[in-house]
Each structure stands twice: as C-alpha cells, then as structure tokens.
Amino acid sequence: MNATEAVDEGPVRHVVIAGGGSAGWMAAAALCSVLAGRGMRITLIESEQIGTVGVGEATLPHLRYFNQRLGIDEPDFMRATGATYKLGIEFAHWGRQGDAYIHPFGDFGGEVDGLGFHHAFLRAQAAGSPHALGEYSLPVCMAAAGRFAFPDADPSVLAATFSYAYHVDSSLYARFLREFSETRGVQRQEGRIVSVEQDPENGFIRTVVLESGQRIEGDLFIDCSGFRGLLIEQTLKAGYEDWKHWLPCDRAIAIPCEGIADPPPYTQASAERAGWRWRIPLCHRIGNGHVYASDFCSDDEALHVLRAGLPGPAMAEPNLLRFQTGRRRLSWSHNCVAIGLSAGFLEPLESTGLHLIQLAIMKLVEFFPGRAMEPRLRDEFNRLMQMEVERVKDFLILHYHATERDDSPFWNHCRTLQLPDSLQHKLETFRETGHVVRYREGLFLEPSWIAVLLGQRCLPRRLDPRIARYPLSSLQGGLEALRQRISVLVEEMPRHQDALARVGNVDDQGWRHASMSLYGMRGAAH
C-alpha cells in the first residue's frame, strides 16, 4: 500500500460546512456532539452578507428527538427561540371552501381487531352519526380547545396517544445552535466562498477559497449553501429533478406580524385561489406567508392576499422567495453531502423542512465515512434520502389533488393533474377498499393519510367487509365512550398560554420520552 492509499483510507480529519442557517448549524451541532471524541475538526463558513431563507418555523415531533440527542434542555431551547407548542396543522378550504380539519400528531381512535379505526367511524357516519373524525383524536380536541399538556409516559393510557412539536423562530434556533457548537470546538469562519479546487484524478473537493484569499482544505464537505448548491451543483454537477408539474407553487412571500396573548397550539394552512397561506404563532410574533404558483397568480396579487389576511400589524417588509420544487439527483456526490435547501426543496405545507435536514444529518452520522468516501455508504445514503423525499412529495401532492374545488384555474389544474404512479396506486386502493397502502419507508403513516383523505372528502367506495361483523350499536357505543373520555381529559388540561408561562419550571417529562414518531405511544389504550 502506498502513502496516498494509506491517507485515503484513514478517518475524516476535517469537516467543512459551507453555509450557516438552520441546516449548517444543525449539522455542526450534531457532528460535534454525537461524534465527539474522534479528534475531528469542524469548520463552518458563512457570511453575514448572505441572508438565510428562514421561513420554515413549524416543526415535527422529531425535532424533540434531535434536541434530546444533543443534550439540549427543552425549556432553555424554548426560551431562546420564542417557541410555542404545536399539536398539528389546521387545513382550511382545501377540500371545499369553508371546510377545515386538523392533521394531528396522534392517531384516531384505535384498531378494531386489526382494522383501522376509520372503518368503524365511516360505518357510524353512514348510519347518521353527526360527529367529525377529529372528535376521536385527543390532540385535535386539545388544539381546538387551546389546551396543552405533555403526553403521559405510560403507553397504556389514552393520554399517551399523541405527540407534540414546536413553532420556533428558525433564525433564533440557528443562533442557539451556533453558541452550542462553538462552545464544543466548532470553528466559525466569516467569509464568502469564491472558488473551489478539486482533485484532478477523482474529482473530490480538496479546497475552498474565500473572498479574502484564505484557503480551507477539508476531507468531507457539507453543502448548506441554500438553493444555489454552491458545492453539490455548481461544482459537482449532481443534477436536479424538477417537480413543478406535480407541485406548481414556485414562490412565497413572508411577513411577520405582532403576536397575540393566546397563541393557538397548531399551525394554520389556509388554501387560497392560487396557493395557500401559513400562520405560525410564536411567543414574540406570528409568522405569515403566502405560497403560490406564479403561472396562476402575480406577485402583486399574492402580496395583497397575504396583507389582507394578517392578524396584526406587520413587523417587517415583505420577503419574496423564488424556489424550484424538486430534489438533487445525488444528495451525496464524491466527498460532498448536500443538506437543507441545497439538497432540494419541498414547500412547507407539512412542516418537513427542518425534519429533512435532521434526517440527512442523522443518516450521515449513521453512514459516516472515512476519507475514501466508501461508495456503498454514499449509495445507501442517496437511496434512503431519495425515498424519504419522494414519500413526502406524494403526501404533499395529495393535499392539492384530493379536492372538489373548481373555483380557479389553479385548482382545476391540481385536481386533474397526472399523479406519480406510487400515489395513484395508493389512492385507487384506498378508494376501492378503504385501506391505506403502507410504504416500507417514509415519514407519514396511516393516521396522517386518513386525516387528509377524510378531511378533504376523499372517501372509499366500500369498507372492509369484516367491519360488518360488529353490531352497529356496539360500534356506536365504543365511539361515544371514546369521545367522552377525550372530552374529559381535555377539560382537565391547562390552557396553552398557561403551559407556555410555566416553561421555566417544566420538568423533563415532556421530552425524556421523545421518540421518532408523529403519533405518540402507538398501541396505547383507546
């Protein structure tokens, strides 16, 4: 073995992160914490002159797991980021104008001898039940009532059947993680990267050159440079798969406004004529934005719609963002891994932005390479990230396609578009049998699909015939008992603003048992 081969096969000595923001500082924080003790240097390059997007402020419960892995105290995190609790997302006007439902971090009811709860619910509905699906979900009822309590640690009880996330100021979160990382040895380098030098033999990135002339060499480079993909695309030409034909929204306008004393514990996503508006309540402000399709709506019209819907005085000038929905064909190419917007973009309809960053970081930790950048590790990382992103893509398309709206060219386009084969199969199977096809990989499981399908009036033509074995009166009695139990539990919970006021005294019960689940302790008693 020659000297070059020996070097190539050694451990990674220097990780260089190109870009800050949420993606860059989450990557830095995770690597310096989870991989501590390897003698590895981490340098993050960012410039104060380059702004960050910073519109994704609603999160998924998985962020609790991420913070827990890093040893971050939940109350400290919440105070530093102006965070509020989140139990789900309210979708208004998606199936029909005037409709509204909540996609919760929790299940609906419980299985009936292996059959999904929705079979029992739909049979009762067909018999004249006046109650909505959300009345059988603890987090939906908590959200509607403006209540919040931590999930019970006992997986056998009803109060364990939900999870929670946060609304968080992403710029403050990045600042919080920067301090966390720098105290653990991460070196921040101010500057703009103006050129990249590659190994002439294998194409690996060896050096990035800053505007000042400083040269920074590395073994592994993480591209967190945003939409431009400075390393992964401009240098390595990884390629980009455009999904505009499925997800036509390509612009967003964001405006923060003054907060309210009683912020709701859920995100709001309201469908508009050519897109949708978000509303994200923080302790110190409300995040507002309008995601829209420029083929169907002008920037001026989009801004007018957003301003008209602000719940309070604006706190800043509008921030216009242009994006191309899709994914990088290779998230890991050569010795460079793209994380965040450099790896692709999916609109924040289901709050997946920070989750996909977190997922990529944890997969990189799991498959952390040596300097040789073992191809099998790279290929498995790319396969898994592609699968995860495509599953999210299918779920987002469902929101637009499963609609009865025909009041604008945008909605006519979405309702009639040609679906990806994977989503087409899933929808046809549900409509024919009432069953949700299970993906082997993917973030959103059956309860999420049921929330959106039924919430947007996509109903099966028939139910599983096994549900007919149960007397209707028995099913109705069980449904009513569950509804009453949920009502009593919610009534006993503190209001959301009271829970926030006690953040300084919250014990760790709420996050000690954090798990990689949207739905709380599955299998709990219902």
Catalytic (active-site) positions: 86
Quick check: 86 and 164 in contact, CB under 8 A? yes
Spatial separation of the C-alpha atoms in residues 159 and 155, rounded to whole Å: 8
Grouping H, G, I as helix, E, B as strand and the rest as coil, residue 231 is: coil
Is the distance from CB of 37 to CB of 395 less than 8 angstroms? no
Residue with tokens 């009036």: 457
Interatomic CA distance for residues 133 and 95, integer angstroms: 15
Tokens, residue 31 = 């690597």
Rounded distance between C-alpha atoms, residue 493 and residue 150, angstroms: 10
| Angle in degrees, CA 69, 369, 360, rounded to 5 | 45
Does residue 186 come out as left (phi exceeding 0), alpha (psi in the -120 to 50 range) or beta? Answer: beta
Question: Of 193, 201, 200, whose CA–CA distance to 231 is shortest?
Answer: 193
- The whole-angstrom separation of Cα 359 and Cα 379 is 16
Q: What do you get for the CA distance between the two ends of the chain, in Å?
A: 63
Beta-bridge partner residues of 320: 253
CA distance 344 to 379: 17
131 neighbors 121 (Cβ within 8 angstroms): no
Question: What is the signed CA dihedral for 312, 77, 103, 130, rounded to 10 degrees?
Answer: -80
Question: CA 143 to CA 164: how far, in whole Å?
Answer: 11
With a CB cutoff of 8 Å and minimum separation 6, the contacts of 70 are: 29, 30, 33, 34, 180
State the Cα–Cα distance between residues 240 and 231, nearest whole angstrom.
Answer: 13
Rounded CA Rg of the chain: 24
β-strand pairing of 220-223 with 14-18: parallel
DSSP calls for 127-143: TT----GGGG-HHHHHH
- Contact status, residue 12 vs residue 369, Cβ threshold 8 Å: yes
What is the C-alpha separation between 177 and 64, in angstroms, rounded? Answer: 14
Dihedral of alpha carbons 171, 172, 178, 180, sign: negative
Helices (H), 166-219: 170-182
